[in-house]
Amino acid sequence: DIWMGTLSKTLSSCGGYIAGRQRLVDWLRHTAPGFVYSVGLAPPLAASALESLRILGAEPWRVAKLQANAALFLRLAREAGFDTGSSAGLGIVPI
């Protein structure tokens, strides 16, 4: 399995991550074009992502509020005639 995600947007940082078995990660690190000339995550960016995770764990109401705001936005956008495609009304709603 490959687990991948972003550290931007929700986690107040930039870049992303790929996690998997050590052999897979090593292979990607040494052969994938995006990794060959890249550098590690800067310490301040890692710290901001870690702090964001800490805040989300301590204040789960933030996620509920974001979901409620996104659902409201999606509903109002559709009522106004905007094409939101198959959006589920999560944190990002394409128009």
Query: Shortest CA distance to 22 belongs to which of 2, 5, 38?
Result: 2
pLDDT interval class at 25 (50, 70, 90): confident
**What 3-state class would DSSP assign to 83?**
coil
The residue count of the chain comes to 95
Residues facing 6 on adjacent strands: 16
60-94 pLDDT, tens digit each = 999 899 889 989 999 999 999 999 998 887 777 88
Find, among 15, 19, 17, the residue nearest to 3 by Cα.
19
8 and 15 Cβ atoms separated by less than 8 Å: yes
Q: What is the pTM of this model?
A: 0.62
